[in-house]
Amino acid sequence: MRHGKSINHLGRTTAHRNAMLSNMSSSLIMYKRITTTVAKAKALRKFVEPLLTKAKNDTTHSRRTVFSTLQNKESIKELFGEVAAKIADRPGGYTRIIKLSATRLGDNSEMCIIELVDYNETMLDAKNAGEAKSTTRRSRRSGKKATEATADAPTGEAIAPNAIVETAAPEDTPTTTVQDGESREDAQERDAEAAS
Instruction: Work out how many domains the chain is built from and give that number.
Output: 1
What is the amino acid identity at position 137? Answer: R
141 in a domain, yes or no? no
Question: Which CATH number fits the domain that encloses residue 97?
Answer: 3.90.1030.10
Task: Name the residue with higher pLDDT: 132 or 55.
Answer: 55
Helix (H, G, I), strand (E, B) or coil at 173: coil
98 in a domain, yes or no? yes
Average pLDDT over residues 86-98: 94
Q: What is the pLDDT of residues 144-175, one digit of tens each?
A: 655 565 555 555 556 566 666 676 766 766 66
User: pTM of the prediction?
Assistant: 0.65
Compute the half-sphere exposure of residue 137: CA atoms within 13 Å on the CB side of its CA. Answer: 7
- Cα–Cα nearest to 150, from 165, 135, 139: 165
Residue 112 pLDDT greater than 90, yes or no: yes
Please report which confidence band the pLDDT of residue 135 belongs to, taking 50, 70 and 90 as the band edges: low
102 in a domain, yes or no? yes
Please report which confidence band the pLDDT of residue 66 belongs to, taking 50, 70 and 90 as the band edges: very high
Task: Name the residue with higher pLDDT: 28 or 2.
Answer: 28
Task: State how far the alpha carbon of 5 is from the alpha carbons of 9, 12, 149, in Å.
Answer: 10, 16, 64
What is the amino acid identity at position 1? Answer: M
33 in a domain, yes or no? yes
Residues facing residue 157 across a β-bridge: none
193 in a domain, yes or no? no
192 in a domain, yes or no? no
Residue 59 sits in which domain range? 14-120
